[in-house]
């Protein structure tokens, strides 16, 4: 089973830098790589303190395409530049799942999160994001990959 844990947590808002892109599902891996490369390059060049793992937030999903925001969390708010935008990841109550395995099976974890929310009287309250705990370059076997999925909850 790809979903290792699901729980409700209260988290602080996290300052971020990100790139926003619209793409098809087949373009997603390349677009994520492009966004993360641009954001990390900018943050490192500017000397901003990175405070965690890369993330991708799913701002909008339609049958033919999706809009993503790929980036990095920071220790403190910092200005964006050009295509790099500044913002925050949601603070407050979230549903958090730990996913084990390939990214192709993440849809199973999202489905399990939706079931968990219904069973626990919760409703989604914003765009979900994935935090990539393991780096596939360092851990080439997808069975070793871990992804944390955060889904804001409605008040």
Residue 115 to residue 92: CA distance in whole angstroms: 20
Residue 67 to residue 54: CA distance in whole angstroms: 17
User: Which pLDDT band holds residue 1 (cuts at 50, 70, 90)?
Assistant: low
Boundaries of domain holding 45: 3-152
CATH code, domain with 76: 3.20.80.10
Q: What is the largest CA-CA distance in the chain?
A: 46
| Domains: count for the chain | 1
Which percentage of the chain shows pLDDT scores above 90?
Answer: 95
Question: What value does the mean pLDDT take over residues 30-52?
Answer: 97
Q: Tell me how far apart the terminal alpha carbons of the chain are, to the nearest angstrom.
A: 30
> Under a CB-based contact definition with an 8 Å cutoff, are residues 86 and 48 in contact?
no
How far, CA to CA in Å, does 40 sit from each of 8, 17, 63, 70, 87?
29, 9, 30, 10, 15
């Amino acid at each position: 089973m790809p979903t290792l844990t699901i729980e409700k947590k209260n988290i602080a808002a996290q300052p971020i830098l990100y790139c926003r892109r619209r793409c098809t599902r087949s373009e997603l891996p390349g677009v994520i790589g492009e966004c993360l490369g641009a954001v990390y390059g900018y943050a490192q060049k500017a000397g901003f303190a990175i405070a965690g793992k890369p993330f991708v937030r799913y701002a909008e999903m339609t049958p033919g395409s999706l809009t993503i925001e790929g980036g990095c969390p920071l220790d403190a708010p910092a200005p964006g530049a050009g295509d790099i935008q500044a913002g925050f990841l949601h603070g407050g109550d979230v549903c958090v799942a730990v996913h084990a395995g390939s990214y192709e099976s993440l849809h199973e974890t999202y489905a399990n999160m939706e079931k968990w929310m219904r069973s626990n009287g919760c409703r989604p309250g914003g765009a979900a994001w994935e935090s990539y705990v393991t780096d596939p370059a360092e851990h080439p076997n997808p069975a070793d990959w871990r992804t944390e999925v955060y889904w804001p909850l409605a008040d």
